[in-house]
Amino acid sequence: MFAWKSPSSKPYRELRGKATEIELIDLMFNEPRLIRRPILTDGTQVIFGFKQGSYDQFI
């Protein structure tokens, strides 16, 4: 759910594959633009980012 392709993530890209989940969560907490959006849920499943095929299942 970390938005690695976001321009906001540029300073953190060297952490990819190295940072722990806790470190990434801390970064997203302090800088919400690093959270991949949109977030879609039906109460049981969660989809991060726009994926048309996955969205079609919810309609």
Convert the pLDDT of each residue in 17-53 to its tens digit: 999 999 999 999 999 999 999 998 888 888 898 878 8
Q: Quote the CA–CA distance of 13 and 22 in Å, as a whole number.
A: 16
The token pair that represents 13 in the structure block: 């890209």
- Looking at residue 7, the DSSP 8-state letter turns out to be G
Residue 17, pLDDT score: 96
Q: Check residue 49 and give left, alpha or beta (phi > 0: left; psi -120 to 50: alpha).
A: left
Q: What is the reported pTM?
A: 0.76
